[in-house]
Chains A and B, each alone.
Chain A
Amino acid sequence: MNQWEVVIGIETHAQLATVSKIFSGASTAFGAEPNTQACAVDLALPGVLPVLNKKAVDCAIRFGLAIGAEVAKKSVFARKNYFYPDLPKGYQISQMDLPVVVGGQILLQVGQGDKAYEKVVRLTRAHLEEDAGKSLHEDFHGKSGIDLNRAGTPLLEIVSEPDMRSSDEAVAYAKALHALVQWIGICDGNMQEGSFRCDANVSVRPRGQAEFGTRREIKNLNSFRFLKEAIDFEVQWQINEIDEGRKIQQATVLFDPDTGETRMMRSKEDAHDYRYFPDPDLLPLVISSDWIARVQSELPELPGQMRERFISEFGLSNYDATTLTANSEIAAFFQLTVGIAGKQNAKPCANWVMVDLAGRLNKDGKEIAESPVSAAQLAGLILRIADNTISNNIAKKVFEALWNGEGATADEIIDKQGLKQITDSGAIESLVDEVLAANPANVAEFRAGKEKAFNALVGQVMKAAKGKANPQQVNDLLKKKLAG
């Protein structure tokens, strides 16, 4: 495996969050009764014509600006011709030679903690196109049903360069892209409903070889887990093939989540000749600088900009700032928290959001938007740590109590459960004295040079204080007494 390098490029179809379809006025809402959201244009009745929905163009421009790409002044819609029952016109309107977005890049963070590294993935292009309908193969007495509600839904097809070198990088890219399209409000990101789906082009080559190997394209991966599993399987399959002396043939494959395997859908020889040509029903899409400027003015602060700001404004590390801007929900939660807890507490806010809260959410399988602990509650908790009302350890208890709804605020829980930290040096001193008197063995060990014994004594004091003694004061006093 190590002598092989994996090369992955990803094509993503992001369904654009417009109210109506890309070339007709019909609704794009998900889940309606079959064929109730298909108008004459979507049904491709004789004589009907497409009219471009400018809101879809707004979305494409937004995306182009967010990834630092060139928004083409002129792009062209082309017809991709093929027959399928859920493709009413017998062609899909897409963009071929002149796409609306060219170039750009996305910064990702791959891995977590110490193993994390940053990676830039370049984008080739993004273009506008229409979705097809759906063929329904069940419950029609041996026939297939066609639901054209989805036909004409606007898609942005986003094509990356083959810059990824592992399934982890591929997943990190897909997640970053998924977060970005939601961040800028152009896609709801709902993968179950098919709003965001990926095709992965996978090849392997001997490490050090400059040319790419022959790629196979895995179609329609609609979860990050499938993306990873499919790539991992495919990579191993390709390596095995080569090891056994066979050549990889260019092909399109499907991933079966039940078996965890990819299987061939069609080979290059069966590839359609789509007979692309410019759609004579649509004029070239001309985007003025005014249009771009208008969309630019409506853009929210972008992840990259926010990340830089977190570093300069809050003094956060690169890693923290990147993690906290991984998606708009985390960023919003952090910003709310730090807004209440104050800039001076930015680092603990970052830690609490990234480590404690994220860990707890993960444990319950919850998204940050569903967090039982609000940003305001967390900020209240962090403030009590900062002013020494509670220790970090007690704070974890308070956090758990907040999570379980045992109180409305940290203060209430601290008060109700008597968790306020003991800072009265007299009180701590008497506890220390009691512990030293009761544990002569530990004292003797410490004096004999066993550092561990000191920790045992701290533990005893904290236990006697029911965890509420200020740990720093306990440390200082113990040291003083043992030295004396």
Chain B
Amino acid sequence: MINRSLKQLSQALAAREISSLELTTLFLDRIDRLNPTLNAFVTVDREKSLKMASAADARIAAGTAGPLTGIPIAQKDIFCAEGWTTTCGSKMLANFVSPYDATVIQKMHAEAGLVSLGKTNMDEFAMGSSNETSFFGPVRNPWDTSRVPGGSSGGSAAAVAARLAPAATGTDTGGSIRQPAALCNLTGLKPTYGVVSRYGMIAFASSLDQGGPMAASAEDCALLLNTMVGFDERDSTSLDRPVEDYARDLDKPLNGLRIGLPKEFFGEGCDAEVMAAVRAAIAEYEKLGATTVEVSLPNSHLSVPAYYVIAPAEASSNLSRFDGVRYGFRAEDYANLDDMYMKSRAQGFGAEVKRRIMIGAYVLSHGYYDAYYLQAQRIRRLIADDFVEAFKHCDVIMGPTSPTTAFKLGEKAADPVQMYLSDIYTIAVNLAGLPGMSVPCGFVGGLPVGLQLIGNYFAEAQLLNVAHRYQQATDWHQRRAAIE
């Protein structure tokens, strides 16, 4: 049961082969058993989950169930959920119980009838690529527990990879869904900016953040994405578009699909064996009827520097609300107001968060704004234009998700720049606001490799189709980490 797809679980629930209560209990027990090793969850609340499962069973019995009603999933601890401790991986919010539901949570709970198993560990305020910046300790990769699961949605990735949950939510600001998906052999999708509401999703970099699904297959991602999307009047950057079924095109043949291969993604900087796996996947696509064309993203080498101006700038302001005044952590002893601010923030935030706040405050400060922030915004525009040009010649862009497989815990923790380069292939997608996916495409030394798919704006259904057809022809995504 734990290895079943969302569709199979849905059928099992509909056929009364199993109840949501039983299914939820099955996963909760597995979490109890394996989480001490993996540290994938920071909060589990059996009582709450079982209550939701009972309610789902009632809906199933009443015939008012939706396609995923009663299926348990894991929620990244960046989504506020009413009554749940919502920490964002930080000491700053270690005691924060959200009084409200994020729009995504509300849609999943109230509308879809999904059951939340708990909140998953993550890099503090989603700042990290290894899940080592979490106040609650690192998450371990189920494929090799001496290695990182990637980040920042590392807890969600590890949870699904170890089958502690059939699927999970993640968020992606510079690669935080796709990179951990690649490192944990999952399928993950970052939608077009504005497709998934950001209301209640604790902001890291508002113009880049986007929530999305992480699961074992493209089909599972499509079904989960269907429950997450939709216009939200509480999010001014949410897009008012017709509702679509992201699973509708899954089976479409790929004949005539034009795959763009950016020469910048196939040059130096990527592990050779990872690159070989990616090339093999592209060859598989050619067998499925696709053609390839070389394209260019000439400004992609500027994406990491531009990102590390824009994201910290927004973060430095977004994180100002964590001041110890109204909620969250406050230092115990302080002399006056300024001292309270300084001590609370010095003690409440970890090193990486403080580093980014300082970078952000610097690039926004008087005299530096034009040289850094405005310049980065110009580069951002150029990067987006590169994609517009590339998509004149192709339908989907492919390349590696991450330049390496999962690295060892601690390996890059001391070198922020090396860590930042883990996201070298994923960041441009966020800067452009495009949808991107990572799909399992092989193994190097027993560690998973991810193939990145980048689509044009609102091409989620097409990306899922392209991923699904590949998964019909290959079995990489069906391989499971041997953790018990």
Contacts and interface: CB of A to CB of B under 8 A. Distances in A.
Contacts of A122: none
Nearest to B93: A46
| Chain A interface residue number, banded | 20 to 34
Interface string A267-308: 000000101110011110000000000000000000000000
Interface string A124-157: 0000000000000000000000100000000000
B203 interface: yes
A46 B206 contact: no
Interface stretch (B112-120, B194-202, B263-271, B405-413): B194-202
B198 A277 contact: no
Contact of A46 (B80, B234, B323, B366): B80
Interface in A45-94: 45-52, 79, 81, 83, 85, 88-91
B86 A283 contact: no
A48 B80 CA distance: 9
A50 B79 CA distance: 17
B325 A40 contact: no
A47 B102 contact: yes
A44 interface: yes
A83 B341 contact: yes
B471 interface: no
Interface residues of B, number: 44
B313 interface: yes
B299 interface: no
Given A51-B233, A83-B323, A277 B317 contact: yes
B317 A90 contact: yes
Given A43-B326, A83-B341, A89-B320, A281 B236 contact: yes
B443 interface: no
Contact of B321 (A46, A50, A273, A276): A46
Contacts of A88: 321, 325-326
Contacts of B341: 83
Contact of A47 (B80, B236, B313, B316): B80
B325 A146 contact: yes
Given A47-B202, A280-B207, A275 B88 contact: no
A453 B364 CA distance: 85
Interface in B188-239: 198-203, 205-207, 233-237
A45 B206 CA distance: 15
B80 A49 contact: no
A210 to B, nearest CB: 28
A81 B369 CA distance: 14
A91 B320 CA distance: 7
Contact of A275 (B96, B206, B317, B319): B317
Contacts of B317: 79, 81, 90-91, 275, 277
Interface string B318-345: 0111110111000000000100010000
Q: Name the residue in A45, A79, A83, A273 with the highest tally of chain B Cβ atoms < 10 Å from its Cβ.
A: A45
B327 to A, nearest CB: 7
Contact of B236 (A40, A49, A81): A49
A89 B320 CA distance: 6
B320 A83 contact: yes
Given A47-B199, A47-B200, A52 B236 contact: yes
Interface in B67-98: 79-80, 86, 88, 93, 96, 98
Contacts of A91: 317, 320
Contacts of A49: 198-199, 234-236
A140 to B, nearest CB: 13
A275 B237 contact: no
B361 interface: yes
Contacts of A283: 236-237
Contacts of B457: none
B197 to A, nearest CB: 9
B244 to A, nearest CB: 22
Given A40-B100, A277-B373, A48 B323 contact: no
Contacts of B233: 51
A484 to B, nearest CB: 91
Contacts of B86: 46-47
Nearest to B321: A44
B99 interface: yes
A280 B206 contact: yes
Q: Name the residue in B205, B313, B326, B341 with the highest tally of chain A Cβ atoms < 10 Å from its Cβ.
A: B326
16 contacts: A46-B80, A46-B96, A47-B80, A47-B86, A47-B98, A50-B236, A51-B235, A52-B236, A81-B364, A83-B320, A85-B337, A89-B321, A91-B317, A91-B320, A280-B205, A281-B236
Interface of B: 79-80, 86, 88, 93, 96, 98-100, 102, 198-203, 205-207, 233-237, 313-314, 316-317, 319-323, 325-327, 337, 341, 361, 364-366, 369, 373
Given A275-B317, A275-B361, A280-B207, 6 more contacts: A45-B80, A47-B202, A49-B198, A83-B341, A146-B326, A275-B364
Closest 5 CB pairs of A and B: A90-B320, A275-B364, A280-B206, A280-B207, A47-B200
